[in-house]
Amino acid sequence: MAETESLAHKFDPVYNKESRVLVLGTFPSAKSREMNFYYGHPQNRFWRVVAALTKQQVPQDVPARKNMLLSAHIAVWDVVKSCTITGAADASIRDVVPNDINQILKEAPIRQIFANGAKAYELYRKYQQPLTKKEAVRLPSTSPANAACSFEKLCEAWQVITEFLL
């Protein structure tokens, strides 16, 4: 059985002054915390989806992943700065302290915010939308826990981000 822990987010958002889309996850999984970067679980389809949408090779290491995001004008961060969580189960997240995403919104011309999955969307609406006054678009989660959604369906749903990248 997975252990319940109180954890803090340990890595920075990825963005620059040309980022046009902000993709928000919930909180880093154990694998992501281990590699100190986003979507570190090998079964998470985030990198494959973004690579397909931006017509790039799937990046294999952190520097290549950062480069792909920045060259595509995609910013990535998580809604949650710290929380109590059991394993990697988003449904177990409680005692939330949200990240302040306004720093990204002030420094980058973000055209649209997207939530990677239902829990990220729910937490964004609860903790950040009152501060940002910006709607987020909920996308299906790229997590391996969302196995019911095929890679093709993910790509189809996530295609909407490309209209904001130009």
- Confidence bin at 15 (pLDDT 50/70/90): very high
Locate the domains of the chain by residue range.
4-161
Residue 160's CB: how many other CB atoms inside 10 A? Answer: 14
Task: Kindly state the percentage of the chain with pLDDT values over 90.
Answer: 84
Query: Would you state the pLDDT for residue 147?
Result: 87
Average pLDDT over the chain, rounded to whole? 94
- Strand ranges (DSSP E) for the chain? 4-8, 21-25, 74-78, 80-86, 94-98, 112-116, 136-139
Is the pLDDT at 16 greater than 90? The verdict is yes
Give the whole-angstrom CA distance, residue 20 versus residue 7: 29
Widest CA span of the chain, in angstroms? 45
pLDDT of 157 strictly over 80:
yes
The predicted structure's pLDDT at residue 1: 64
Distance between CA atoms of 29 and 35, rounded to whole angstroms? 10
Percent of the chain with pLDDT over 70: 99
CATH class of 4-161: alpha beta
Task: Report the 10 Å Cβ neighbour count for 53.
Answer: 18
Closest CA to 13 of 86, 135, 108: 108
Q: What is the pLDDT of residues 55-91, one digit of tens each?
A: 999 999 999 999 999 999 999 999 999 999 887 788 8
Average pLDDT over residues 22-44: 93
pTM for this prediction = 0.95
- Of the two residues 53 and 9, the one the predictor is more confident about is 53
Position 154 scores a pLDDT of 97
Three-class DSSP category at 5: strand
Q: With 90 as the cut, is the pLDDT of residue 5 above it?
A: no
pLDDT of residue 2: 73
Q: Kindly report, residue by residue over 108-153, the tens digit of the pLDDT.
A: 999 999 999 999 999 999 999 999 999 999 999 999 889 899 999 9
Residue in this structure with the two tokens 């987020």, named with its chain if needed: 136
